Amino acid sequence: MKVLVSGGTGLVGRYVVEALLAGGYEVTVGGRHAPQVSLFSRPVRFVPLLLDADLDQISAFDEAYFFVHAAFDHLPGRYRGGEGDDPSGFRRRNLDGTVSLFDAARRAGVRRCVFLSSRAVYDGVESGTELVEDLQLSPQTLYGDVKLRAEQVLRDLTSPGFTGASLRLTGVYGDLRPNKWDDLLGDYLAGRPIAARVGSEVHGRDVGQAVRLMLETEAAKVSGQVFNVSDIVTDRHDILATVQTVTHCQHPLPDASDKGAVAAMPTDKIRALGWRPGGQTLLEETVRRLAGCEVQAG
């Protein structure tokens, strides 16, 4: 099967592409620039694809059976607050541009569309509330609002022959480089002060597994649906404690955080489809691998 992946060269999109390649899919990456030949483990095709509602990009979907939308335009390293001083442009690109791509995919005859949404749709939910998929939501951040509205549009476009599903991802970590924890490890090994921080995480390979489930599960079970994709709660103290063990670096660790302060994001719905994330074991293996690379580089 042929799959078009927007944003496939991004920190999250790369894991999706690799999961699809491992599953035997023919992958086309859509974006502003063609990926370097060595970026992926196997060859991929490339088509120009932009977050621009003024363009009709239906030709990008030629021969694509599935569409995975991972592209998002934001300030580097920032999602909430990623609009900087251009909130209207942020909304135009990431909401209007996304809706235009959904519509083009449907008109081109794409059979399934998977949207990578975010935990941010729950921004503003009352403290102590479990973040289940059927909550009535009104996000208090622009990022969360854009993601939720895109989910709703995809749901409304869903029809016989065009299956849409959204995955609400929590923080995505992994071992591909560059890595979202590169600066964290670098700061720790250099002895720079690090603020305490806690969050929910999921490995990029488990995100790839979730995307494949959306493409391979019986359409009636995913059509028009949203699914939480989250695995564990961890903090910088625990991550860097593992780095300390591997590197024997004795710089002070940040204070431990209250993990109970992170609202639970149940994943029963996607687990019922067979999703099995790697949990604490995969987290520790990944951090050890990243720390080992730092030792070798040093």
Confidence of residue 298 (pLDDT cuts 50, 70, 90): low
Please state the rounded mean pLDDT for residues 34-58. 95
pLDDT, residue 83, reads 73
Calculate the CA 101 to chain-centre distance. 18
Q: Is the pLDDT of residue 192 over 60?
A: yes
- Exposure string for 256-294, b = 16+ CB within 10 A, e = fewer: ebeeeebbebebebbeebebebbeeebbbebbeebbebb
Residues 6+ apart with CB under 8 A from 250: 244
115-158 per-position pLDDT tens digit: 999 999 999 999 889 999 999 999 999 999 999 999 999 999 99
pLDDT, residue 77, reads 67
Please state the rounded mean pLDDT for residues 39-67. 96
pLDDT, residue 74, reads 74
Q: Is the pLDDT of residue 294 over 80?
A: no
The percent of residues in the chain predicted with pLDDT above 90, rounded, is 91
Tell me which DSSP letter residue 122 carries. Answer: G
Contact call for residues 21 and 44 (beta carbons, < 8 A):
yes
Which element (helix H / strand E) includes 199?
strand 198-203
Which element (helix H / strand E) includes 186?
helix 182-189
Please state the rounded mean pLDDT for residues 15-34. 97
Q: Where are the domains of the chain?
A: 2-171+203-230+264-277
Confidence of residue 297 (pLDDT cuts 50, 70, 90): low
Contact call for residues 115 and 167 (beta carbons, < 8 A):
yes
Tell me how far apart the terminal alpha carbons of the chain are, to the nearest angstrom.
Answer: 43
Average pLDDT over the chain, rounded to whole?
95
Q: Is the pLDDT of residue 280 over 90?
A: yes
Q: Is the pLDDT of residue 26 over 70?
A: yes
Alpha-carbon distance 176 to 58, whole Å? 31
202-240 per-position pLDDT tens digit: 999 999 999 999 999 999 999 999 999 999 999 999 999
Q: What CATH number does domain 2-171+203-230+264-277 carry, 3.40.50.720, 3.20.20.140, 1.10.357.10, 2.60.40.10?
A: 3.40.50.720
